[in-house]
Structures are given as C-alpha cells and as structure tokens.
Amino acid sequence: MTSKLLVEKIEENINRHHLFEKGDTILVCVSGGSDSIALLHILLELQERWQTKLIVLHFDHGLRPESSSEQKFVENLAKQYKLRCYSSTSHHLAQEASGVQEKSRRWRLEIAEKFRSETKGKCIATAHHADDQAETLLYKLLRGCHLSNLRGMEWQNHFYIRPLLNCKKSELQTYLKSKSQEWMEDPSNQSSKYLRNRIRLELIPLMNELARGELGKRLDNLSEQSRHLQDWIEQTEENHEISKLFQEEELSIKRLTQIPPMVLSNCLHQYLRFRGIKNLENGHIKKIIQLLQTENKQWQLHLPGKKTIKREGEKLFISLPYSNEPETLLEHPITIISKLGLKIQVQCQILTLSEIPPKEGITLFNIPLKQTLTLRFRKSGDRFQPHWKQRAVKLKDFLRDQKFPLHQRNQIPLVHDENEILAIYPHYLSRSTYSNKNTCPPLHIQIAFPK
C-alpha cells in the first residue's frame, strides 16, 4: 500500500467512525515507536484539511534506562513540527513489585485525562493497530473472557480514538520508511516476561502459520460472532423484559426457568448487584442455577456481605431494604426524585465557576435552579447524546461501546429531566450539561448507595 493510499484509508476511518470533527484539538500519544510516529505523521498530513490542533503527549514510565532518550526524541520531533509537547515521568512505577503493566496503564489514563482537561482537548488518539487487535482478543481468550465480549478494541471509547485499527504494523513501518522517518523501538516489547508479549511473539506467529496466514480473518470472524451473540443476549433480555426484574422484590421461579441459560446467569448477576451485593463470583451464580434445577423448593445460599438468597416455593428473593415507590430525596436547591428503588442518599451542591468540584460524584452545567431531576435506571428505547457526539445514540449501544460490563448496564443511575438523559452517573455528561453555556452555576451531585 502506498503512503497516499494509507492516509486515505485513515481518513476514511475518521469519517466512517466519526472520530473527530474539523477544528478539534487532538492529543496524540507518541511513545517514539513506529506505530505512534506513523500516527502523528498521518495526522499531520491531514491537519490542514481538517484544521485540527495537534498536541503531542508522551509518557516516561521510568522503567528502562532508554526511556529518557525516547522522551528527548519525541520532544525534538514535536519541536520540528512546531507542536506543543507534554511529557510526564513516573517516579513510582519502578518501585512496584507486581502488576506493573496494569498500574502503568492506569497511570497513563490518569495523566492523559489531566492533560486533555487542561488543554480542552476533544479526544486522545492512540496508535493501536490490527496486530494489537489480534493480541487483545487472544489475551481475553486466555483470561477466560465471556464469549459475548470476545472482541478487540473499539474505534472510539470515551475520549480515546484509534484511527489505525485496520492497519498492520508492517504497513505503518513501510509508510515511515517512505518518509525517511526514524523511530525508536522499546526493547521491553521483545521480553517474554509479560503475557501480552508472549502472545505477540510466540502464539500469534504459530497460530497464523497453522491458519495458513488467515489468522487475522479468523479472529475478525470470531469478533463479529461475539458481537452478534451480545446483541442476541441483549435482545433476549428485552424480549423477556428483564429490566422489570429489578422492580420486583421476589423473582418468579417459573419466569426464571423460561430464560435461556446463556442469559439467565447474566440476569441473576444483575439482580444481585442491583440489590447491593458486591464481590460476586461466577461460582455463586453457578450454585444458584444448580439449586434452581433441583426439585428442592426451599433452600438458602449465603452470599458476600452477609446477605442470603432464599427460595421458598415458587419465589426467589433476598432480604434487602427496598422500595418500589418514587422517593423525593432533595427539594433544595433543586428537586431530586429517585426511582432507583434503593435506599440512597443524595448530596447536591451549587459551585462557583472557578471552584474545583469534589472528586466523588458528577458536576452538571446549565441546570436551572428549582429544576426537578429524576434518578432512574435505563429502560427500553433510551437514547443519550454524549458531549462529544453531534447526535443522540441508543443508550444500550453507547454502554456497550464504552465497554460497560453487561451485568452492570441495568444498574447504572441516570440523571434525567423531563426531556433527556443529562448524565450517566458518575461517568458521562450529555452534550447539554458538559460545559457552561448560560448563567446557571455548576451543580454537583453525589450519590451514596447502601452498603
């Protein structure tokens, strides 16, 4: 593939998946490796046409002696193209005894969000590509991922965009060579210390050989089938009106036995989590299903948090404080009504525009005083317009694309007025509440759930 065709391919990805818009500020994660250097160059080629503002973001994990020279390389490259460059160096990861990769990922996410907020960036571009997709899917498979989530990364996830997902690493390196652009390879990528590296260096080449060069196609097919399975599970949940289960203190055994096994385990997990039971394991769910399949009509099973699930005759229930009636929780400075069915507490605080909001909770803009807001869970047909999109999307599709676990999607509180969903607590704001557009002061909401 020629350089021109590759750039056209990336631009097609941007348009098809609505990754960003003209005039947006984009933070580009650049490590110094071939993937991220290629991403930066391609975005530079598109910059004039898209009128974007590019900012380089570099992370020095402080784990290797070469990292300082990589940082200098990236900073010089940014200077060459007259781009702002934000570099961050970790001083704690080198002291970690275990879980370094996961802790590094969390650190990068935290720093990236900090810089995005400071620069008012619209999105953060990463250089994940087709080879990374295969690695991610196989990693999930080895970790025992559910079939309905056996897929790679999404093109867009919250603020993160991945324009290169259908490009091979070899294509990106060929592109850089045609530009006579050097890059720096991280030697730790060749270490067999990490599972992901072994997948990339050992497992993928072997599987590709056994698949006669068709591994990528096989994994794409598997990913597509996984998405179809997830769609089927969600559709089956709607057909069985699973959401109504959360409004019932007692579950009908007859109704449960009508739900397909693939869906039943997910439903039970949602039901228990909805009732405030945390730290559930797959073993708990399996045991409940095994007990449901016996002829015994009276049993109980102890669950985490000193809770007990019981069957008495044709009913299954747990004893938690729960109410079906809407409850007015707050009347000043605004009215908040809860339809969550749980005994919760809500704090509401009016902030000044210069005041830093508390870390816990969520801050909404453009909410008039004396407004009435409702807290509820999702229902069929819900739509939500995240602040980075020009139009509303189906809420179920949004939650899936943001990779909310299936068992959590029916227990995420929504902040709603009489017209739209204003926020998905505490993660996402709608386009209408994301930034200050009028004289209304910011409104901070914090929810305390039962333990």
The pLDDT value recorded for residue 322 is: 42
Across the range 315-343, mean pLDDT stands at: 71
Nearest to 91 by CA among 68, 117, 69: 68
Nearest to 424 by CA among 441, 436, 403, 409: 409
Q: Which own/partner pairs from 196-200 qualify as long-range (CB within 8 Å, at least 24 positions apart)?
A: 196/101, 196/135, 196/139, 199/135, 199/138, 199/139, 199/142, 200/131, 200/135
The pLDDT value recorded for residue 258 is: 85
The pLDDT value recorded for residue 130 is: 92
- From CA 45, how far away is CA 118, in angstroms rounded? 25
281 class by beta-carbon count within 10 Å (0-12 exposed, 13-18 middle, 19+ buried): exposed
The pLDDT value recorded for residue 96 is: 79
Across the range 311-323, mean pLDDT stands at: 71
- From CA 393, how far away is CA 10, in angstroms rounded? 24
List the domains of the chain with CATH numbers.
3-127+162-190 (3.40.50.620), 245-318 (3.30.465.60), 327-448 (no CATH)
263-272 pLDDT, tens digit each:
888 788 778 8
Q: Are strands 156-157 and 443-448 parallel, antiparallel or unpaired?
A: unpaired
User: Which stretches of 116-239 are assigned E, i.e. beta strand?
Assistant: 123-125, 156-157, 160-161
Q: If you ran DSSP here, which 8-state letter would residue 274 be given?
A: H
pLDDT(198) > 90: yes
Residue 332 pLDDT grade (very low, low, confident, very high; cuts 50, 70, 90):
low
Q: Are strands 421-424 and 414-416 parallel, antiparallel or unpaired?
A: antiparallel
Lowest average pLDDT, out of 38-42, 148-152, 286-290, 411-415, goes to: 148-152
Angle (deg, nearest 10), helices 282-292 and 261-274: 120
Nearest to 295 by CA among 243, 351, 232, 253: 253
Angstrom CA distances, 115 to 2, 24, 90, 340, stand at 34, 15, 15, 35
Lowest average pLDDT, out of 5-14, 256-265, 422-431, goes to: 256-265
Buried b / exposed e over 163-187, threshold 16 CB at 10 Å, is bbbbbebebbbbbbeeeeeebbebe
Q: If you ran DSSP here, which 8-state letter would residue 356 be given?
A: P
Residue 307 pLDDT grade (very low, low, confident, very high; cuts 50, 70, 90):
confident
* Residues in the chain, overall count: 451
> Which carries the bigger pLDDT value, residue 60 or residue 145?
60
The pLDDT value recorded for residue 1 is: 74
Question: Which neighbouring-strand residues pair with 29?
Answer: 57
The pLDDT value recorded for residue 266 is: 76
Q: With the CA atoms of 110, 115, 120 and 123 taken in that order, what torsion angle do they form, in degrees rounded to the nearest 10?
A: -60
151-171 pLDDT, tens digit each:
889 999 889 999 999 999 999
The pLDDT value recorded for residue 451 is: 56
- From CA 140, how far away is CA 127, in angstroms rounded? 20
Q: Within its chain, how far is the Cα of 157 from the centroid?
A: 6
The whole-model pTM stands at 0.64
Q: Are strands 372-376 and 414-416 parallel, antiparallel or unpaired?
A: antiparallel
pLDDT(320) > 60: no
Residue 449 pLDDT grade (very low, low, confident, very high; cuts 50, 70, 90):
confident
Q: In this prediction, what percent of the chain has a pLDDT beyond 90?
A: 43
Q: Within its chain, how far is the Cα of 257 from the centroid?
A: 32
Element spanning 174, H or E: helix 169-178
62 class by beta-carbon count within 10 Å (0-12 exposed, 13-18 middle, 19+ buried): middle
CB 228 within 8 A of CB 288: no
The pLDDT value recorded for residue 236 is: 84
* 47: three-class secondary structure by DSSP: helix
Across the range 255-279, mean pLDDT stands at: 80
The pLDDT value recorded for residue 268 is: 84
Q: In this prediction, what percent of the chain has a pLDDT beyond 70?
A: 95
- From CA 295, how far away is CA 361, in angstroms rounded? 46
Mean per-residue pLDDT of the chain: 87
**321 cis-preceded (ω within 30 degrees of 0):** no
The pLDDT value recorded for residue 207 is: 95
The pLDDT value recorded for residue 324 is: 53
Q: Within its chain, how far is the Cα of 172 from the centroid?
A: 26
354-381 pLDDT, tens digit each:
777 787 889 998 888 778 999 998 888 8
- From CA 121, how far away is CA 117, in angstroms rounded? 7
The pLDDT value recorded for residue 407 is: 59
The pLDDT value recorded for residue 246 is: 61
Across the range 120-145, mean pLDDT stands at: 91
